Amino acid sequence: MVLNDVNKLVHDLEKTELESTTGTVSSQVYCQLLAVYLYQNDLCNAKFLWKRIPDSVKNSCQELSQIWNAGQKMWQRDWPAVHTALNLEWSEYVRHIMQALKESVRERAMSLVSEAYSSVDISVLAGMTGQSLDEAKQSVLERDWSLDETTVKPCKMTKEQATPSPATLTEDQLYKLTQFVSFLEN
C-alpha cells in the first residue's frame, strides 16, 4: 500500500498541531503524525514529536505508545522486533498508515539484503522481513533470486525496484521548524 499524498498529510497534521489553541492536539493526531514520520523513515522528527507530546496524552493512549515502540525498534535497527511491533491490530485512523509502514520496512529490508549480502540464510531473511519461511521463499522467487536448501543469493535491485531514499529537509520545512521552536521558547 502506498499513501497517496503523504507530504500533504504531514503538512496538514503539523499545521493542526502548530495551530492548536491549547498547545496540544488529540491523541489521534499525534498517532497519525508519529506513524507518518515512521512511514517516511524520518526517525529524528518522530523522536522529537514523541518528546513534545504531553505525558497525559502518552498515558491516555496505548496505541501511541505502541507506535512509538515500533519507532524505537526502527531506531535500533532491530528488524525482527520492528515487525513484531507492527503486527498489531491498529485503530481505523492509523491502520492504513501502519500497513504502509509495514510494507515499506519489508521493502527496505529486501533492498538492504540485495545491496549488502552475496548470500544469506533464509531464516535470517525471514526475520529481517517479518515473514514466515514460506513467505520469504516466495519473496525470493518473485525477485528471481537463487535459493538453495537454506541459502539465498540475492541479485542487486535495479533503480526502478529500489525504494527511494527520503527527501532532505526543504527550506520551507526548516522555516516551519524555526517558527515552532521560536513559539516554544516564548
The total domain count for the chain is 2
165: pLDDT strictly greater than 80: no
163: pLDDT strictly greater than 80: no
What distance separates the 2 farthest-apart alpha carbons in the chain? 63
Cell, residue 16: 493542526
Residues 38, 83, single domain; the answer is: yes
Residues 141, 57, single domain; the answer is: no
Q: What is the dihedral of CA 122, 160, 41, 156, to 10 degrees?
A: 30
Residues 149, 57, single domain; the answer is: no
Q: In the prediction, which pLDDT does 1 show?
A: 43
Residue 2's pLDDT band (cuts 50, 70, 90): very low
Q: What is the mean pLDDT of residues 160-176?
A: 63
Tabulate helix, strand, coil % of the chain (nearest 5): 65, 5, 30
Residues 89, 153, single domain; the answer is: no
